[in-house]
Amino acid sequence: MSKLSLDRILQSQGFGTRKYCRALIEDGDVSVNGAVEDNYKATFDTGDLVLTVFDEEWRYREHLYLALHKPANFECSRKPSHHPGVLTLLPEQFSWREVQPVGRLDHDTTGLLLMSDDGPFIHAQSSPKRHVPKVYQASTAEPVTEALVAQLLAGVQLHDEPAPLKALSCMQRGEHLLEIVLEQGKYHQVKRMLAAAGNHCSALHRSQIGGLALEALGLAEGEWCFLEKDQLDLLVP
Ligand code: URA
């Protein structure tokens, strides 16, 4: 547990610049564990710290780990060009903390997207060495056939990959619907694998990462939630 001055604590939590945070404190807008504190130099242990800023409670979090139910027509890139960025779906406070998507979903893909401001976590989760299975529901333009499923399980060659890529599992869920589980996270992987197998992905949804299922989080499209330790543990391969 570390002791930090209140202005630094507020800034670390994304409430604004140090100058702005000092002004908030001096104006009496900040309480710490229920008591107003107007001295920005006062220091506190950050463990179990509950701040109240403008009457809203905020539990100190060293890092943010979030799950978002990404809707279609939002971009994961830092500089979105054709659609709004996924960050616009989160409170502004999180942008101050430089929250970023963990990996990417295409602008037209919906479903579970992790977001965090913890660099090593983002890096570890996005590493190609980390084999966390990801579950997708892919709608197909042409009917799903046994041959398509067999091909995706056996492996399909993408033009810029040294070896064929295989689905970890692949099941027909409807005439035009596949559930496909992938371990790798290559660029447009589901869409490119389907195209290489002679079909076309017309819509894509990610329902699960590791043991963390979107359904269990109960998020409607566009909603987000904090992930706690037991949920993060489900992401370990
Ligand atoms: N595969 C794709 O093709 N697109 C995604 O958004 C995710 C996986």
* Residues 46 and 154 both lie in one domain: no
Residue located nearest, by CA, to atom 7 of ligand 1: 105
The tally of domains found in the chain comes to: 3
Three-class SS state of 26: helix
Q: Strands, DSSP E only, in 95-183?
A: 100-101, 109-116, 134-140, 169-174, 177-182
Query: Which residues form the catalytic set?
Result: 106
Confidence (pTM): 0.93
Q: Which two tokens stand for residue 48?
A: 């179990």
Contact assessment for residue 15 and residue 97, using Cβ atoms and an 8 Å cutoff: no
* Residues 220 and 106 both lie in one domain: yes
How does pLDDT run along the chain (237 residues), one tens digit per residue? Answer: 679 999 999 999 999 999 999 999 999 999 999 999 999 999 999 988 999 999 899 999 999 999 999 999 999 988 888 999 999 999 989 988 999 999 999 999 999 999 999 999 999 998 877 889 999 999 999 999 999 999 999 999 998 899 999 999 999 999 999 999 999 888 899 999 999 999 999 999 999 999 999 999 999 999 999 999 999 999 987
* Residues 8 and 50 both lie in one domain: yes
- State the Cα–Cα distance between residues 58 and 52, nearest whole angstrom: 6
Provide the residue range defining the domain that includes 191.
Answer: 133-209
Q: What is the DSSP string of 210-230?
A: TTEEHHHHTPPTT-EEE--HH
- State the Cα–Cα distance between residues 86 and 27, nearest whole angstrom: 33
- State the Cα–Cα distance between residues 30 and 10, nearest whole angstrom: 9
Q: Find tokens 């330790």 and name the residue.
A: 229
* Residues 105 and 216 both lie in one domain: yes
For residue 153, give the CATH number of its domain: 3.30.70.1560
* Residues 41 and 70 both lie in one domain: no
* Residues 124 and 225 both lie in one domain: yes
For residue 97, give the CATH number of its domain: 3.30.70.580
Ligand 1 binding site (Cβ under 6 Å of any ligand atom)? 105-106, 109, 188-191, 204
Q: Give the domain-ending residue among 33, 59, 85.
A: 59
